[in-house]
Structure 1
């Protein structure tokens, strides 16, 4: 049984069922034997992308996956399994310097001081576990817009990235379960979606929460009152406009998190001879000249080599994939020369072009109940626990709820500096510029709080990832570059103004008690809002583009449109680092699709 330290859920029969279905133990035949070995494909990283591409390739070839962590259900317990806990108990997402240390599931990365964000040092949680960050996220399954994928086509020169051409790869990974309207029990929260864009044969369970938060229904109604109307196609048909109830990667039969581990890894272990090397670290890519031949691995102090007959595939994430390339001699010549690392391929784009969308929040005290207020109340919690244990329903079964996307209104656009207006005008005309998420929480005194955040959809600021030594054990140097382009802050100012318009609507006023809590009455002018944003903006854990896909010869391009590293044979990078710009939506849907797409390309030869 999986038990979280201090959790209010002791021994959930629902989790017992989940553990029985997904036995959290690799058999001796599935664990890679420590020592030199040879496979067709060696995959570095058992996260969202790594496990997906591993499962697909293992159906036709011998495959090894090397993962630094183990099973998150064992190492982190209920916090990573129960949907509500993705919002309340995953403490490692604390962005402050005083974050809780959980080295068993988090890489514990921190940034350099962000000079344009009050010199804050940001802790950037990244999943060090089977499933990667799909074990820590809020499970939202939101594809990007057709306009964004069309922009991708232009940047990489490949029509296969058009949304219609990507749909088969999106469909392939998904098994859609329609929303359970009886369990949701909310007539004003019936999801609308286009069934034709989903699939029913993939390992990944996608559905909607089995419970709807009352506070969020009011805030969703308030957003609709100012024009963010319901999108009838939902968030998987390529149109990010208006609002919609969010589909999630939740196993609705059990009301537990669905990750790359519970989906693709379990599928591969049951149907292929995939070999997994858990609690193991790749310290270097091994090369013969400019051709990858394998990787050097360290497991509990033992160092050995895994050789690849066909390819090495790096799926170590936006921060570690460029680090591993650089310490292996692939990256900016000046950086490698400085550290005495022999140059294999001069790729100046490795570690560059980092894009990190940021968000700012607003909140009010409200008179409505929420999932968090229910489970924190000794009177109402027992019923919620019974619902979860017996019905896979109630507040514990619910994670993300409502998201809206829109382009700035002409009124707000006119308040922006001309330079920012010009940057926005250069984007596709149907590309959203801000997303708005409705949420609810409970304060320590039991008071309910409604919250709404605004997030930029197209990051203009650029950061970087570099290395401090040739050792993988030395953390990468991460500069998120927050507000290096002032347009991002300008857009978030407009976001606060838009959220205040939402709070001023009749539906929102019906539930608010008293004045605004955040930012508060003393934050009124644009200058005051800018100061507030620089001090309080946070990441949404969607970093990208440090191994950008592009055309050969492009300065930022690291991989081609099939994820092959320029200048190095038998080597690919396959994770969110290869997306060439910050795309609207949430990463995991696109990452699953990309892994399916690249796996198909590899199998075609």
Structure 2
């Protein structure tokens, strides 16, 4: 097995699978994709509702916990992260959302040329196969499916009707740049199956002679010669390995583990590295800083009629009907997942020019995402502030690459975040008390009618708030003059050669919505940037020799 390739991609998640496909597609370069987890053979990965089965899976999920957060009553918040081919796209909630036009224009305004909405839009169109049809902002020939929910649910229809009664427009497409409205989400599903990036991008490329995929391969460090990355160290089945890169190492390990790998390898805040005895290759104080996440607040209501997914899951007959519907027609709750109802609104209308709050409305209820459903007919209004100002950190605790880093989100530490989150809870209550929703709501189970004042609502948010799985920003993209910038606009790590980062960690600010599709877009664009830079080099590169696949 060759121990030298052109490109090493670390992490087979939402970005890594895209890069493995695109960098190997013309046969010119050899690529090795390293994934710490196992192959994606577990059946529940591929059934849309199955993320309840992977939420706490010991092999397929990293199962991280944050440090005790003083802003959240010193709770440690569970942070699931995908650990298999497809990464978090193999275990997520399947929501197909890009964010707002202004998110990307803001990135460009921060000193990142080429990342404005008009530059990103061609890549959004390139990646998608949208069942709404082609249009100025939609594509139909890409690998990743954007699938509309084809079966209406009376609870979701009532949720949409209440949103319209509150003045929001009905939407079928939330991805044209302007999100404000209410409707059904589109999902990353294909014919009733989950469409992870492992399915959409990696599976079609697996037969290529110049692509090698190694699973159960835990990268432990980046190797440098001077200030150029030349390879990685990793372990596989307990055995240490070294893999060298002729051209580049590309980190796609996510917003938690990409900064961890950088720090372990001597790229990061010098005082932290020196305290732990890590030789400093290049001091970059921004590595692990600027951590952002969407905080999810779940309001749970008991429903007056037995029309919820709770009712189906509590009944053997209901479970059998759901199973048969999926087995025979690839339809029904198993083909849709959990969250169906979408709403983007302004909880602080006097301050927000664009939607500041996102709803994920679900026709079931449980104490936490992926938990057991309640013993009553229930639904969930999940709200999150879209552009939090709170910032946290990711920092290694030791030189042990198997020890999870310290993760401190500092949720609700910013005053705006507290006000917006309280306002979002009040907005959710308005939706629940607006017809046609009001007639279907029997009682507010959580937080309950006794929670009324701002202080009481804020305490509820601190006690029950949880991640909505979007940690970002820990290897910030920005110009060298920005003291917290880690990568430039071509996603190259400042101060060293042969090293890029392509995942949520490079987002300078969190997008206004779910992060999976934006990361796929970023990886599509990164592949073009990498190939452009390779073509500019003086020395031609010969067609890569075949390399073995060790998955």
Same fold (TM over 0.5): yes
Map Cα deviations across residues 260-283 of structure 1 (whole Å, 9 max, x no partner): 111111121145631011101111
| CA deviation after TM superposition for structure 1 residue 450, in Å | 2.0
Q: Which runs of 5+ in 1 are unaligned?
A: 1-32, 93-101, 179-192, 414-423
Partner of 1:470: 399
Contact 1:110 1:123 in 2 (8 A): yes
Does the Cα contact within 8 Å between 1:54 and 1:274 map onto a contact in 2?
Answer: yes
Matches within 5 A, 1:306-345: 306-345=243-282
Higher relative contact order, chain-length normalized (CA < 8 Å, sep 6+): 2
Structure 2 gap ranges (5+): 367-372, 534-551
> Which string of whole-angstrom CA distances, capped at 9 and with x for unpartnered residues, describes residues 540-597 of structure 1?
0001000000011211100001100000101000101000011101101100000000
| Structure 2 residue 520 is the aligned partner of structure 1 residue 566 | no
Instruction: Kindly state the Cα deviation for residue 366 of structure 1 after the two structures are TM-superposed.
Output: 0.9
Q: How does 1:224-235 map to 2 (within 5 A)?
A: 224-231=164-171, 234-235=173-174
Matched with 1:189 is none
Q: Do the aligned partners of 1:220 and 1:438 also contact (CA within 8 Å) in 2?
A: no
Question: Which one of the candidate residues 221, 233, 241 is aligned to 2:161?
Answer: 221
Kindly indicate whether residue 335 of structure 2 is the aligned counterpart of residue 397 of structure 1.
yes
2:130 maps to 176
Is contact 2:66-2:406 (8 Å) kept? Answer: yes
- Aligned counterparts of 2:377 and 2:510: Cα–Cα separation in 1: 34
Match of 1:490 in 2: 419
1:163 Cα deviation from its structure 2 partner: 1.2
Which string of whole-angstrom CA distances, capped at 9 and with x for unpartnered residues, describes residues 283-309 of structure 1?
A: 110000000000011111211211100
State the shift of 1:220 in Å. Answer: 2.0
Determine the C-alpha separation between the residues in 1 that align with 2:358 and 2:100. 12
Aligned to 2:187: 248
The Cα of 1:125 is off from its aligned counterpart by 0.7
Distance in 1 separating the partners of 2:323 and 2:278: 56
Equivalent of residue 34 in structure 2, options 66, 69, 81: 66
Q: Which structure 2 residues correspond to residues 25-174 of structure 1 after superposition, within 5 A?
A: 33=1, 37-59=3-25, 60-74=28-42, 77-78=43-44, 80-86=45-51, 88-92=52-56, 102-158=57-113, 160-174=114-128
> Which residue of 214, 223, 229 corresponds with 1:292?
229
How far is the alpha carbon of 1:460 from its aligned partner? 0.7
The number of aligned residues is 523
Runs of 4+ that moved beyond 4 A: 442-446
Given that 2:348 and 2:356 are in contact with CA atoms closer than 8 Å, whether structure 1 keeps it comes out as no
**Corresponding residue for 1:453?**
382
Q: Check whether the contact 1:37–1:306 (CA below 8 A) recurs between aligned residues.
A: yes
* 1:404 Cα deviation after fit: 1.0
Q: Secondary structure at the match of 2:235?
A: strand
How far 1:387 sits from its partner (Å)? 1.7
Q: For 1:319, what is the secondary structure of its paired residue?
A: helix
CA drift at 1:242? 1.1
Give the direction of change, closer, same or farther, for the CA distance of 1:282–1:493 in structure 2 (3 Å limit): same
Rounded Cα–Cα distance in structure 1 between residues aligned with 2:381 and 2:231: 47
In the TM superposition, what are the counterparts of 1:514-529 in structure 2 within 5 Å? 515-529=443-457
2:130 maps to 1:201? no
Task: Specify the alignment match of 1:600 in structure 2.
Answer: 528
Aligned to 2:432: 503
Instruction: Name the structure 2 match of 1:183.
Output: none
SS in 2 for 1:379: helix
Partner residue in 2 for 1:376: 314
Other-structure match for 2:543 = none
CA 1:385/1:109 → structure 2, altered by over 3 Å: closer, same or farther?
closer
Q: What CA distance in whole angstroms lies between the structure 1 residues aligned with 2:322 and 2:261? A: 46
